[in-house]
Amino acid sequence: MCDNCGNEFSSWSGRCTMCGEWNTLKEIKIGNIKSKSAGRSTEIKIENLNNIKIGNATRISTKIGELDRVLGGGIVPGSIILLGGEPGIGKSTLLLQLANNLKKVLYLSAEESAPQIKIRADRLKIDNKEISLVSDYDIDSILFEAEKNRPDILIVDSIQTISTGNSDGSPGSIVQVRECGMLLQQFAKRTGISVIIIGHVTKDGSLAGPRILEHLVDVVLYLEGERFHDARILRGVKNRFGATNEAGIFSLGDKGMVEVKNPSELFLSEKQDEPGCVVAATLEGTRPILVEVQALTVPTKFGFPKRTSSGFDLNRLNLLAAVISKKTSVNLLNSDIYVNIVGGMKIKDPAIDLAVCLAVISSFKNKKLPNKLCLFGEVGLSGEVRAVVRQKDREKEAVALGYKVLPGIKNLSQIILELKI
């Protein structure tokens, strides 16, 4: 079985033919499989869609506004949620704060002992008396007890540390991850108890274990951020009960995860008024945010100029540098370029192209851009500046914070002349 995509093969191979990854096929032993339908006495119930009654499907509010935003209004009863993120990013902290806001929670941790969780709870000032802890790895016994106690939410920290006696392999193996995921899914649908699972991520940022785990759950969330920055972004990748284009902004500190009501002020709190610094309007989910883009250009000391970026796609930076050199009077062929998105943000929004270009040009000419100027726009290969989605919302956010936007100039060279840089 491929450890990356979960596809099964009859023999070992150096490369998975489905996902193309190398050295991901692992051997697993499968016992005798009996037909689940053999000897079944109950009949399958078939219902008409129009006759099905929804009943009480009220969402459970987490009382954390940014989390409710990403979930689509709260937790749906009987749903199963997968939360992924790098170690130390704040996953356990966020879920412990979530547990403090709910009525009855069962917190399963096979990674930490109960006293260790209590230490974190005291630091976060958790005072909910309805939180129950269990520190074990046997998922079969835990689900049996959970069905008797009937909590509102079951939190599993994490899926890679639990196992079931019905399958071979150690905790964290591909077989155990899949089987435990199936058991948790069946438990949630059978009992109506919502389940939140923490999952580790691999070096490339994807969730560890087979992709089948993401197919099993109803909601997939990613908690992102730089280890040495306070900002944390909670993104919805999959949501069967809401939109997948939402994002929640948090700040991680001594008191845990704190909601950021105005992200733009957070990222612009130390804005520099120097050449190469510019403010850009981007989108995180459906929310416009202003961020600071910094660029630095220096003469290259070798034959091949260096390009480095932090928080911005390096291939995109190479493309924009080529457009600047070809379509404007600025020649970057003998300059090293360094671009940084301040605050640890990782932006894929093409609307930040214009800000990156003008930050690079400003640094190259050592001229400041006008103060309180906000830029956004996608730059094409011919140097044209294209319109971006939700342009009015970006302008509104910029004006609300005292920034000005450029009029409808559609060419990079014209913008350089207009700004006199």
- Res. 223: pLDDT tops 80: yes
Q: What percent of the chain has pLDDT over 70?
A: 94
Contact between residue 80 and residue 217 where contact means Cβ atoms under 8 Å apart? yes
Where, residue-wise, is CATH 3.30.230.10 in the chain?
A: 265-419
Kindly state the average pLDDT of the residues 260-274.
85
CA distance 420 to 345: 29
If you ran DSSP here, which 8-state letter would residue 60 be given?
B
Please report the pLDDT score of residue 34 as a whole number: 47
- Res. 82: pLDDT tops 90: yes
Q: What is the C-alpha radius of gyration for the chain, rounded to an integer number of angstroms? A: 26
CATH classification code of 61-260: 3.40.50.300
CA distance 344 to 229: 6
Residue 203: pLDDT band (50, 70, 90) is low
- Res. 31: pLDDT tops 90: no
Closest CA to 338 of 370, 303, 310, 376: 310
Residue 41: pLDDT band (50, 70, 90) is low
Q: Which amino acid is at 247?
A: A
pLDDT tens-place string over residues 293-336:
999 999 998 888 999 999 999 999 999 999 999 999 999 999 99
Residue 19: pLDDT band (50, 70, 90) is confident
- Res. 338: pLDDT tops 80: yes
Of the two residues 258 and 228, the one the predictor is more confident about is: 258
418: left (phi over 0), alpha (psi -120 to 50) or beta: alpha
Kindly state the average pLDDT of the residues 244-257.
87
Please report the pLDDT score of residue 36 as a whole number: 47
- 334: CB partners within 8 A, 6+ apart: 299, 300, 305
Contact between residue 131 and residue 122 where contact means Cβ atoms under 8 Å apart? no
Kindly state the average pLDDT of the residues 186-210.
80
Q: Which helix (H) or strand (E) holds 186?
A: helix 174-191
Tell me the sheet residues that pair with 154: 106, 195
pTM: 0.80
Sign of the alpha-carbon torsion through 243, 231, 347, 274: positive
Please report the pLDDT score of residue 210 as a whole number: 55
Sign of the alpha-carbon torsion through 282, 401, 227, 136: negative
Residue reference for tokens 């914070």: 401
CATH T-level fold of 265-419 = Ribosomal Protein S5; domain 2 (3.30.230)
- Res. 355: pLDDT tops 70: yes
Backbone φ, ψ for residue 2 (5° rounding): -75, 130
Kindly state the average pLDDT of the residues 351-370.
95
Closest CA to 414 of 372, 377, 371, 366: 377
Please report the pLDDT score of residue 35 as a whole number: 45
Looking at beta carbons, which pairs linking 238-243 to residues 24 or more positions away fall under 8 Å?
Answer: 238/214, 239/71, 239/72, 240/79, 241/71, 241/72, 241/76, 241/79, 242/71, 242/72, 242/73, 243/72, 243/286
How much is the mean pLDDT over the chain? 87
